Structure 1
Amino acid sequence: MCRERDVLVIHDEVLTGLWRTGTPLASHHWEGAEPDLVILSKGLGAGYTSVAAVLVSPELAPLLRHEDADPLPAMGTMAANPLQAAACLGVLDELESLDAVAFASRGERLGAALAELPGLGPVKAVRGLGLLDGVEVAPGVLWPLMEEAERHGAFFYPFTGVGRPRSEGLVVAPPLTSTDGDITFVIAALRDAVAAVR
């Protein structure tokens, strides 16, 4: 639809980008979903430094570079310092060296285990790809579930939505460097937490 109307396609891949869903960008899962601009952050610095980036398509880049203008600048407060650049290059090297088969296997195992949760106590639905899943729970249960999960040694990122009733749940996103044992631990901690708040 955007292509038909000559509208730029911008993907926010702050959370989903850099192999989180099993591919370099989440948009790679769908044919014909190529963006003009991609926003990256979080995984790009892997917690070592605060950083964000905007990827620009080769077709669009010349439009941003006028003959009389300076080359595309690194814009923003304290942007593009050597520490950020070194951290990003190290992160990208590490991501490229990941064992793709083992990584995919861990994501599939996590997704399959979480898919068994709907209908257990407060869990309404589970959706996700790779090592990024959302677990929707019944209204009013999110914070007790988070507290119970912490008692079992795991912390999950909460989300709350809009509408009536308002959706709420937690994000299950273990580190990309997680081992098989780490995935087993996360699954067990969440199952035990769900069982405790029935």
Structure 2
Amino acid sequence: MLPKVKESIYIQSFKHDGSLHRTWAKGYVMEANEKRIVCVTNKTWVSESDGRRWVTREPAIYFFYPDKWFNVISMIRKTGIYYYCNIASPSIYDGESLKNIDYDLDLKVNPQYGWTILDEDEYVEHGIEMGYSEELKKAIEKGLDQVIELVADRKSPFDHDEVSAIYERYLEETQR
């Protein structure tokens, strides 16, 4: 099942134990096929598991994959395009929302493609607490390796021109 292009959908991220981690009130669907779902958020409400709520400050393009252990947020700022990569289970759309399981590890990428791995301590801690299997850890670490390789090669979704083109199309569609 896929969401319809040009509709807004709810996005949910869970933790391995099934607890809700974070939700986005709406993502505008730009692309939906068997390879990926691409959504745009712009001034969207985000709810955290601890009850905090905030509104996204800048437009962002989200890339979700049904067969990859990561998703990518491309944040469009005045100083360039920044990327935040969540190492997570493959994403599924169930007709109600787009869902995945967040596995703690994140990769932050700047406009010059320099990157930093975040939350390694949280990954180890949650792996013990929630009992990540060896097979699961291999899938998570492979997802991280794949993201780093895509960044190094500057391939989609780490292609500034692709992100800019999607954002321009979003502006054209929503400002008619």
State the TM-score, normalized to the length of structure 2: 0.33
More helix by share: 1
Q: Between Structure 1 and Structure 2, whose CA radius of gyration is higher?
A: 1
